[in-house]
């Protein structure tokens, strides 16, 4: 396809025809020449917006872009309604590649009952690989929104599933041939399959009914970055037991192979939470088959402390994600 806007005939057959999910709240959605979308909410509902680009990988980018945005909305306690997509494709992209991306988007929309309300699709020499930026729109009942900054001193801090699973899946796919020379095929396949765990929507749905006070999807910067951001937003300190942070062996070994830090690796699929009664929240999540682990507490003051046996050190503000040391 040539540089510039994707042609109308391509939009019709490879973008719009891939999109099937419709929401009653969306009064005006995606269409040729439509630059805006219109959304009608019921009384007593609050609009929640989120935006995120996918820049770390082009593998399964349609699915990943949708999941990251759905996770952001879920972490606020919102029900996802729709998304606006900006899809930037490098020169030389074939139409079949765009169609595949939109099929991934459509599949994710169907699973989450989310409508693509509009967006922009363009071929441009500015990007070297496909880039998708998603603006997500959700709704929540008035008074029911959950924020990252809701942690208070004395609350339990917990995480769901495992840290590093997104980064592990990306590395296993991007560097599959290289890893296959050092690890058994079953090991690499298991790591690639971690993208099956990337949704935090199920745990968010349970948590909002079970006393959660703060939620934060663990993304770029890994668990260290997410802990810092929750503490900063909440104005609290932390005491975190490093040995309690759950991590898969595949993540440990792949990070060791590439010489990167698993606690600073992008970790979508792992939700960081704060609750007054963490044990109750853990039990409610486990009833739904969701692993959850209490890893520490929020404290008075501003010290963010990481504990490992007799060692005591301080958490630092998040830096560049470890993923980029390997794939950029």
Contact by Cβ (8 Å): 223, 263? yes
| pTM flag (> 0.85) | yes
Report, as an integer, the average pLDDT of 297-314: 94
Contact by Cβ (8 Å): 134, 84? yes
Whether 26 shows a pLDDT value over 80: the answer reads yes
The confidence band for 90, taking pLDDT boundaries of 50, 70 and 90, is very high
Cα gap 228→95, rounded to integer Å: 42
Please give the CATH superfamily to which domain 148-327 belongs: PurM-like C-terminal domain (3.90.650.10)
Length of the chain: 328
Q: For the chain, give the mean pLDDT.
A: 93
Contact by Cβ (8 Å): 133, 201? no
Domain 4-141 has CATH 3.30.1330.10: yes
Q: What is the predicted pLDDT for the residue at 34?
A: 62
Whether 32 shows a pLDDT value over 80: the answer reads no
Beta-carbon contacts of 17 under 8 Å, excluding residues fewer than 6 positions away, are none
Q: What angle do CA 115, 68, 185 make, to 5 degrees?
A: 120
Q: Are strands 4-5 and 115-123 parallel, antiparallel or unpaired?
A: antiparallel
Whether 115 shows a pLDDT value over 90: the answer reads yes
Cα gap 27→7, rounded to integer Å: 25
Query: Each residue of 164-223: pLDDT tens digit?
Result: 999 999 999 999 999 999 999 999 999 999 999 999 999 999 999 999 999 999 999 999
Tokens found for residue 316: 């630092």
The confidence band for 303, taking pLDDT boundaries of 50, 70 and 90, is very high
Tell me the CA distances in angstroms from 280 to 53, 144, 175, 207, 309, one per residue in order: 35, 19, 40, 10, 26
Cα gap 306→241, rounded to integer Å: 6
Cα gap 220→224, rounded to integer Å: 10
Which of 201, 59, 62, 212 lies closest to 145, judged by CA? Answer: 212
Cα gap 228→165, rounded to integer Å: 19
Whether 242 shows a pLDDT value over 90: the answer reads yes
Report, as an integer, the average pLDDT of 247-261: 98
Q: What is the predicted pLDDT for the residue at 37?
A: 74
Bigger pLDDT: 83 vs 318: 83
Report, as an integer, the average pLDDT of 49-67: 89
Q: What is the predicted pLDDT for the residue at 35?
A: 65
Sign of CA dihedral 247, 249, 250, 251: positive
Whether 328 shows a pLDDT value over 90: the answer reads no
Whether 6 shows a pLDDT value over 90: the answer reads no
Q: What is the predicted pLDDT for the residue at 175?
A: 96
Tokens found for residue 196: 């099956």
Report domain extents, the chain: 4-141, 148-327
Q: What angle do CA 67, 205, 112 make, to 5 degrees?
A: 40
Q: What is the predicted pLDDT for the residue at 13?
A: 87
Q: Which residues pair with 292 in a beta bridge?
A: 160
Query: Each residue of 129-147: pLDDT tens digit?
Result: 999 999 999 999 988 899 9
């Amino acid at each position: 396809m040539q540089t510039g806007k994707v042609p109308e005939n391509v939009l019709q057959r490879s973008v719009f025809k891939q999109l099937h999910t419709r929401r009653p709240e969306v009064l005006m959605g995606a269409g040729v020449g439509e630059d805006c979308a219109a959304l009608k909410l019921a009384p007593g509902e609050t609009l929640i917006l989120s935006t995120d680009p996918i820049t770390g990988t082009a593998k399964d980018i349609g699915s990943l872009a949708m999941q990251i945005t759905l996770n952001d909305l879920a972490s606020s306690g919102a029900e996802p309604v729709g998304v606006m997509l900006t899809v930037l494709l490098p020169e030389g992209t074939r139409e079949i590649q765009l169609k595949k991306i939109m099929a991934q988007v459509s599949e994710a929309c169907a699973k989450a009952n989310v409508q693509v309300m509009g967006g922009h699709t363009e071929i441009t020499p500015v990007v070297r690989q496909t880039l998708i930026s998603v603006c997500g729109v959700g709704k929540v009942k008035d008074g029911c929104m959950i924020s990252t900054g809701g942690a208070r001193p004395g609350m339990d801090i917990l995480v769901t599933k495992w840290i590093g699973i997104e980064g592990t899946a990306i590395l296993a796919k991007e560097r599959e041939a290289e890893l296959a020379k050092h690890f058994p095929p079953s090991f690499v396949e298991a790591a690639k399959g971690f993208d099956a765990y990337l949704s935090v929507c199920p745990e968010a749905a349970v948590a909002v009914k079970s006393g959660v006070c703060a939620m934060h999807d663990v993304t770029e910067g890994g668990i260290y970055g997410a802990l810092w951001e929750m503490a900063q937003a909440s104005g609290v300190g932390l005491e975190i037991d490093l040995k309690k942070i759950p991590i898969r062996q595949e993540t440990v070994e792949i990070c060791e192979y590439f010489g990167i830090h698993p606690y600073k690796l992008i970790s979508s699929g792992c939700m960081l939470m704060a609750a007054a009664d963490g044990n109750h929240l853990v039990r409610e999540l486990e009833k739904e088959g969701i692993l959850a682990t209490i890893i520490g507490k929020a404290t008075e003051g501003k010290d963010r402390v990481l504990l490992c046996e007799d060692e005591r050190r301080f958490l630092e503000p998040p830096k560049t994600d470890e993923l980029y040391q390997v794939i950029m």
